[in-house]
Structure 1
Amino acid sequence: MKRDKETWLIDLREACEHIQQFVGDLTAVEYSDNLIVKRAVEREFEIIGEILRRIRDEMPELFEQNPISKGHHWLQECSVSRI
């Protein structure tokens, strides 16, 4: 099934939102002790990576305009940088 490009962007946003939901107010210790949450967060990052690869390959003009490609810390957008 071919996904349209707008759907990729929606999926990207949703993956970041899922990470925020999974992590919530966990401390670094709580996060590291919770294998289920860690695996869920890892899976969302895999999804994010796959979407970004597709955007880079199929929409290079969008990727060049995106702050992610310019070295900004997009992890902060996913609220994981504190862990």
Structure 2
Amino acid sequence: MALANGDGIKDNQRSRNTFVVDMDEKLAVEHLLQDMKQLVDIYINLTTRRESFVAYQKRERGSRFIWLFQEAGLQ
């Protein structure tokens, strides 16, 4: 059990500490970090779009469809 948790063990031949890592746990953490990075990227994109929209509304007081076309790259 201690080895599965990545605890240090003493390597008598080389007289140094060696760590054993549970690969399933390592992969799970890597996937979690990737998911968290994607969520942060989505949040940044949504915030940037909201700021663009608010700036556009203040500048143009016109139709919202123009902004939507600009954001979609259709104009």
In terms of Rg, which structure is larger? 2
TM band (smaller chain): 0.3 to 0.5
TM-score (norm 2): 0.40
Which structure dedicates a bigger proportion of its chain to strand?
Answer: 2
Q: Which fold has the larger relative contact order, with Cα–Cα distance below 8 Å and residues 6 or more apart in sequence?
A: 1
**TM-score with structure 1 setting the length:** 0.36
